[in-house]
């Protein structure tokens, strides 16, 4: 079974530029999560999708971050414009269903450096 | 606000030593409890989880964790660590639809 795929693996941009990350979850998984992990901290949920609907985006900085999962499968996360404090690893995870008891399966992450 | 606290950011042990990593959370309701692990160069993956029933749960690679409700704790243990246990360990607590994560503990095992 293929795991969660993410691209790119690394990205370096200058502040005020825009960047987009892509995630393809495990086939059949209805729930998709985007996390931000800043160095020395645990993952912080940015947004959670159930199929193509948003379950939770309460911690997504909506003035600069956006995410979509139009067909209920793969997803993109965009930052526009980027700030220095956005430097982090962006993790995508998926689970077969929603609920805090579900096991989440993670991708390799995208390491973003904003200069 | 709910929070998860992992007591040690870095732990260094010799092979065959016993391990206990602390995890405490602040939430009074029903919770699901997880330990995830990230080995060097690999993805985050589930180590073990607790939903209900026996508060002592066993996971992969000889790890176990004990849920003590009165102490709001879910400590991870292994009686004898190996060099291959070098990794970062995250405790996470789920309630409703959210998973709240601790900051992680980096474990280094000296051969």
On whether any CB of chain A is under 8 Å from the CB of B98, the answer is yes
Contact B99 A45 (CB under 8 A): yes
Of B4, B43, B102, which has the smallest distance from its Cβ to A107's Cβ? B43
Residues of B in contact with A93 (CB under 8 A): 44
Predicted pLDDT of residue A94? 95
The residues with which B11 forms a beta bridge, in sequence order, are B107
Of B72, B89, B92, residue with least CA distance to B81:
B89
Q: pLDDT tens, B42-88?
A: 999 999 999 889 999 999 999 999 999 999 999 999 999 999 999 99
The residues with which B65 forms a beta bridge, in sequence order, are B57, B76
If pLDDT is split at 50, 70 and 90, which confidence band does A1 have?
Answer: low
Of A106, A96, A83, A97, residue with least CA distance to A35:
A106
pLDDT at B90 over 90: yes
Phi, psi angle pair for A49, to nearest 5°: -110, 145
Interatomic CA distance for residues A47 and B60, integer angstroms: 29
Q: Specify whether the CB–CB gap between B56 and B64 falls below 8 A.
A: yes
Contact B46 A103 (CB under 8 A): yes
Tell me the DSSP string of A48-86: EEETTEEEE-TTS-TTTEEEE-TTSS-EEEEESS--GGG
On whether any CB of chain B is under 8 Å from the CB of A26, the answer is no
Interatomic CA distance for residues B91 and B104, integer angstroms: 7
Predicted pLDDT of residue B97? 72
Predicted pLDDT of residue B2? 81
Contact A3 B43 (CB under 8 A): yes
Q: What is the DSSP letter of A104?
A: P
Phi, psi angle pair for A25, to nearest 5°: -75, 175
CA angle A51, B49, B32 (to 5 degrees): 65
List the single residue in A with minimal CA-CA distance to B89.
A42
Give the largest Cα separation in chain B, rounded.
Answer: 42
Q: Name the average pLDDT for chain B.
A: 93
Contact A40 B43 (CB under 8 A): no
The minimum CA-CA distance between B38 and chain A, rounded to whole Å, is: 10
Residues of A in contact with B32 (CB under 8 A): 100-101
Which residue is it, tokens 């997504």?
Answer: A60
- The gap from C-alpha B91 to its chain's centroid, in whole angstroms, comes to 4
Residues of A in contact with B103 (CB under 8 A): 40-42
Of A93, A43, A107, A39, residue with least CA distance to B93:
A43
- The gap from C-alpha B25 to its chain's centroid, in whole angstroms, comes to 12
Between B7 and A78, the higher pLDDT residue: A78
Contact A42 B44 (CB under 8 A): no
On whether any CB of chain A is under 8 Å from the CB of B51, the answer is yes
Residues of A in contact with B90 (CB under 8 A): 42-43
């Amino acid at each position: 079974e293929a795991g969660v795929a993410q691209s790119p693996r690394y990205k370096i941009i200058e502040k005020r530029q825009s960047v987009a990350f892509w995630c393809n979850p495990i086939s059949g998984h209805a729930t998709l999560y985007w996390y931000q992990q800043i160095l020395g901290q645990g993952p912080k949920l940015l947004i959670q999708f159930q199929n193509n609907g948003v379950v939770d985006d309460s911690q997504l900085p909506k003035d600069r971050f956006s995410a979509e999962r139009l067909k209920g499968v793969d997803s993109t996360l965009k930052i526009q414009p980027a700030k220095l404090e956005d430097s982090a690893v962006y993790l995508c995870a998926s689970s077969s269903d929603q609920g805090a008891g579900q096991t989440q399966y993670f991708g390799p992450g995208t390491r973003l450096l904003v200069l | 606000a709910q929070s998860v606290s992992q007591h040690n950011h870095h732990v260094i042990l010799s092979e065959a030593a016993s391990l206990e990593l602390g995890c405490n959370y602040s939430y009074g309701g029903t919770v699901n409890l997880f330990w995830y692990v990230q080995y060097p160069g690999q993805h985050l993956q589930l180590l073990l989880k607790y939903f209900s029933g026996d508060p002592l749960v066993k996971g992969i690679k000889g790890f176990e964790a004990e849920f003590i409700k009165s102490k709001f704790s879910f400590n991870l243990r292994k009686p004898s660590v190996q060099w291959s246990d070098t990794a970062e360990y995250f405790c996470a607590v789920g309630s409703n639809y959210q998973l709240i994560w601790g900051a992680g503990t980096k474990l280094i095992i000296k051969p």
